[in-house]
Amino acid sequence: MYEILETKERITADNDLEAAKLREKLKEKKVYFINLMGSPGAGKTTVLTHVINALKEKYRIGVMEADVDSSVDAETISKLGVRVIQLHSGGLCHMDADMTARGLDGLGIDGLDVVFLENIGNLVCPAEFDVGSALRMMILSVPEGDDKPLKYPLMFTVSDVMLINKIDVAPVFDFDIERCKSYVRKLNPDMEFFPVSALKGDGLEAFETWLIDRIETWRNEA
């Protein structure tokens, strides 16, 4: 037997107002903004590389690479020939709407159709901070375990689409995709799922088709 102690503290969040303003501005400018989240090593940069290559003939793409430190990911993405900026959070484990707005200013959104924010690798805080995106996309990788929706529920609740990455190693890690999905559906019945292997390219085409459709629908409404 064990006791449960709530150590909850209040988190200030006038962030939402800022995020709503930003979303409005991006809608006016017809820039589709995607907040990409997931743990360290889930495969965010690898997935992003594949998706950019699939979309860059159709859309003008910009990328904000957010990291605590280093520019490893911006270096990778800059080779794809799209507009990139590296954002350093200076120790913070997430981006908020204000930091994102400054990032978008730094990137320059004029002439862009789609902007990705690769958020800091973290399953907790990025879920709490709306950054004004049109789409919240998350990646869970198989080695993290299929019980993660139980332990980090907010991320799975607020995301619109979930890529289950590294499915090629699912048997090695005893990861049950259907069990994982069922945990998620209890939190978020509308979640869209795409099992993929970013390294091998498996399953990403289906996601990219879905994403283009989603972007087009948004553009027609904007």
Residue among 222, 163, 221, 216 nearest 55 (CA):
216
Residue 208 sits in the site that holds its own copies (CB under 8 A): no
Residue 103 sits in the site that holds its own copies (CB under 8 A): yes
Give least dist CB 93 to its own copies, A.
4
Among 67, 113, 160, 208, binds its own copies (CB under 8 A): 67
Residue 80 sits in the site that holds its own copies (CB under 8 A): no
> What is the rounded CA–CA span in Å between residue 51 and residue 55?
6
Residue 190 sits in the site that holds its own copies (CB under 8 A): no
Q: Which residue has the tokens 């990219």?
A: 208
> What is the rounded CA–CA span in Å between residue 38 and residue 28?
28
Is the Cβ of residue 143 or residue 203 nearer to its own copies in the bound state?
A: 143
CA dihedral 201, 183, 161, 142 (to 10 degrees): -20
Size of the site for its own copies (CB under 8 A): 63
Contact 31, 180 (CB under 8 A): no
Among 21, 58, 88, 200, binds its own copies (CB under 8 A): 88
The length of the chain, given as a count of residues: 222
Give me the residues that bind its own copies (CB under 8 A), please.
1-9, 11, 39-41, 65-75, 77-78, 84-93, 95, 99, 102-103, 106, 120-125, 128, 141-145, 147-148, 150-154, 166, 169, 172
